A and B are shown apart, each in its own frame.
Chain A
Amino acid sequence: MDESDLPAANQRINGWYELFSRGARDWLRHNEKVRDAVREHLPEIIAGADVVGGGARTVRVPVRMLEHYHFRLRKPSEREGVGQGAAKPGDVLAKPNQPGPGKGAGGKDDGGLEFTLEFKVEDIVDWLWEEMKLPNLKPRVGKAEEVDWTREGWDKRGARSRLDRRRSLRESIKRRAVQGKSPAFTDDDLRFRQLAKREQPAVQAVVFLLLDVSGSMSERDRQLSKTFFFWAVQGLRRQYRQLDTVFVAHTTEAWEFSEQEFFDVSGSGGTVASAGLAKVREIIDARFSPSRYNIYLFYASDGDNYTADRPQAEAALAGIAEVANYCGYLEVSTGADREMNSETATLFKAAAGGANTIGSFPLGRTEDVWDAVRHFFKQQAGVT
């Protein structure tokens, strides 16, 4: 049917429903509610989510559609109904656990549809920080100033690229309201955005993710470390506009990797922590001057360091601790060994000596990832 068939009365409103879908509006509202619900269980969901695929910006979480509840009778063990077709009493139309013939058989009210919602990692991190009342990090270095341009105010003159159309139109409307019939735009109507110089403290940071890839670290241990690293980095990103990440893996030797390669690395042989720590110090000296950078180190290992390495490791750790904002040691152990009396744990405990800048935490299950993140960030901020 043509539009022209429609009576005049309908012609006026014809088409509004093509611009605006109420179903879609209410569906979006539903999704918002789901988000709120998900938000309440975020730590559990995040522990399970597979987030670490080369700098994921979003997390996909499977969710269920919400049900608007009504009073209903309890589901009966048998359901009666009326059917239609050639069948006589006693006929069996479906055997147990077979779908019945025709449409309408079986209940559709069970379960409900599952779908996936995507969450922005940044949003999640913000929620978590709010939810867990995590403190913001304390940048240590802030002397070096950076000059930055920010938008500030409007002017009648400026570069064409900074023309603010909305404001200009507003001026034009105001003028025409007063002047009546007059040209649509005059030069006087034009408004240009102005930029102003602002000096900001330099907030640069680098985080070293040091991973023990010796033979004793299982695939699962590495996966746990990976999840922890991901969220730790997100937490830092929240604070620092510019965050460099450096990935170092070690066995008895140490290497720097790109992010992609890093999580696929698996080595064999023993663990010499001092090799990894020395490598970190080497990179700091070469590329990240402590006077310009806030330095963070997270080290994940199963704790089986060579006993003979103790003196070197102590020295290397002390070398980093004196320039770093924080050094965290994550002991990844399959057994829920919370004692933390492995070689490496002892090393970090000794180095900490009550200071806030070195800490350790045991990580045994995915559910603990959040406790670990919380522990480190709280300690770093001096809150316990």
Chain B
Amino acid sequence: MSGAWRDFLPDIEKLALSAGLDYNPVEFEAVPESFMMEISVYGLPVRMPHWSFGVRYIYQLIQHRMGHSRLFEVVFPGNPGHAYLARSNSMAENVLVTAHVLGHADFSRNNMLFKRSQQQVSDNIVEHAAQHARQIARAIEEHGQKRVELVLDAALALEQHIDVDQSVRRERYPEYAVDPVGIPDDTFRTRFNSLEAEEAAKNPAARTRAPVPPRPERDLLWFIANYAPELEGWERDIFLAVREESFYFYPVFATQIMNEGWASYWHARLLREANFLPQQIYVDAIKCHSDVVRPLASGENVALNVSPYFLGFSIWEEIVKRDGLEAARRILKEDDDFSFIRNHLTVEMAEKLELFRYRAEANGAVKVTERDVHALHEALLAPKYNFGAPGVAATHIRVDGTLDLLHDHQMDGRGLDVERGKKVLEYLHRVWRRPVIMHTVDEQGATIELAA
């Protein structure tokens, strides 16, 4: 009986295509719940081994036992896309989930951030990540678990520290400084240059070497992979593998509200229009839908966070109602959560959704502060800046090889957590193999140096 949802797949797809969805083919697979849990822990069906995933796995297991999380589906973009459905889903849930997955598939084929990551990383991230996992398994065989782990400790700690404005395949910095642009009316220089050059000056080796890095470098994974004084080839490959996966994860992270909202909008809409579904399945599926897009606070309760499904779904519904599907599809192509929230979470919308900003003090007191829409935008987006990580850049390599890192405390508003920071520097020290120094500020705002 429960197998029959697949019978509806062709009808659902036909409906989706006629409604204007535009997606790569998706391969559906039903997997046990334990596997769903692992996908959500690793972020990918097959991924490199690391003990930190084991910790997350146990947390997830505990949460799951307490009944806090239930995963219906996980979908991976690509051509073809891959969708994993929990084997425990009911038939109605699977019908809903299928429509939801098609919404995601449409999103990931058309959204610019997603398109870019698929072009640059891979249009089959599932297989690509599995290759990385095999690559690391080989490294473990060759160099031993301990050594590989040291590299992964460092690389995975810097997971969020990439520069998405740069290309995945990025060239090293130019080795020589570009000649300074001539200063106009510099008669001395003009005359000097007109003199006959001596042999030494003609020699290209006399050109000045460009400083490394030429400007503060945010892409720490790339920087260490390319400029660590004694990194071995296989260690570099691990850094670059982690970096590629980060480039894949970035769009997932930066469009979560839009993406979940869009998929929810489409499963709701396709379901409404699916006149081929038996009554009972339709009713069950609609009930499941309302659970998914339900605000966390229903009735008198107040929630201290906002469900991205609820928020995204509500905004998309409003956009389609007000400006039509064409406009919605343009937004889908060009926006990420930052522009989406700032441009389309309007005053009326925020009021209707009963959003508010609050302040929680260390002693546990929680107070509602305001409903100003701009303040709401910024508070919603604050955890999303810079891939959710503090702004850290490599600024300088000293003569003895010491690496200087600078934390942009002004952008982040406060200094780094000192204990954790030191531990990360210890990870980095083991691959950089020279001292690593971080500049940040303490509670009083005074400059401090952490070193390893």
Contact = CB atoms under 8 A, between A and B. Distances in A.
A244 B58 CA distance: 43
A100 B296 CA distance: 14
A23 B417 contact: no
Contacts of B55: 27, 30, 65-68
B360 A84 contact: no
Nearest to A71: B390
A83 B355 contact: yes
Interface string B403-414: 000010000111
A26 interface: yes
Contacts of B427: 69
Contacts of B253: none
B437 to A, nearest CB: 14
Contacts of B356: 82-85, 87-89
Contacts of A21: 34, 38
A28 B365 CA distance: 39
Contacts of A33: 51
B305 A96 contact: no
A114 B62 CA distance: 13
B428 to A, nearest CB: 10
A111 interface: no
Nearest to B2: A1
A81 B368 contact: no
Given A92-B366, A96-B365, A73 B38 contact: no
Nearest to B382: A80
B303 interface: yes
Given A29-B51, A69-B157, A77-B362, A91 B368 contact: yes
B281 interface: no
A25 B49 contact: yes
B29 A10 contact: yes
B389 interface: yes
Contacts of A26: 49-54, 57
B43 to A, nearest CB: 12
Contacts of B277: none
Dominant SS at the B interface? mixed
Residue in A1, A76, A91 whose Cβ sees the most chain B Cβ within 10 Å: A1
Contacts of B424: 69-71
B59 to A, nearest CB: 7
Contacts of B52: 26, 30, 66, 68
A217 to B, nearest CB: 45
B54 A23 contact: yes
Interface in B355-408: 355-371, 376, 379-380, 382, 389-390, 392, 407
Contacts of A89: 356, 368-371
A379 B362 CA distance: 56
B449 interface: no
A161 interface: no
Interface in A41-97: 65-97
A84 B354 contact: yes
Given A83-B302, A102-B297, A71 B421 contact: yes
Contacts of B423: 69
A239 B30 CA distance: 56
B41 interface: yes
Contacts of B58: 23, 27, 65, 113
B72 interface: no
B156 interface: yes
B53 A85 contact: no
Given A68-B52, A68-B156, A102 B302 contact: yes
Contacts of A105: 304, 360, 366
B420 A101 contact: no
Given A1-B87, A10-B29, A68-B55, A87 B359 contact: no
Contacts of B380: 82
A166 interface: no
Nearest to A31: B54
B420 A69 contact: yes
B366 A100 contact: yes
Contacts of A71: 157, 161, 389-390, 392, 407, 416-417, 420-421, 424
Given A70-B157, A73-B417, A91-B367, A17 B35 contact: yes
B420 A83 contact: no
Contact of B157 (A6, A7, A65, A68): A68
Residue in A67, A71, A81, A104 whose Cβ sees the most chain B Cβ within 10 Å: A71
A22 interface: yes
Given A6-B30, A23-B53, A26-B51, A81 B305 contact: yes
B160 interface: yes
B354 A85 contact: yes
Contacts of A384: none
A33 B153 CA distance: 13
25 contacts: A1-B2, A18-B34, A22-B42, A22-B46, A23-B41, A24-B54, A26-B52, A29-B145, A30-B54, A66-B51, A66-B55, A68-B55, A68-B157, A69-B423, A69-B427, A70-B424, A82-B376, A83-B368, A86-B302, A92-B366, A92-B368, A93-B304, A94-B360, A96-B361, A103-B296
Given A74-B417, A80-B382, 5 more contacts: A33-B51, A70-B424, A72-B421, A81-B305, A85-B300
Interface of A: 1-2, 4-7, 9-10, 14, 17-18, 21-31, 33, 65-106, 113
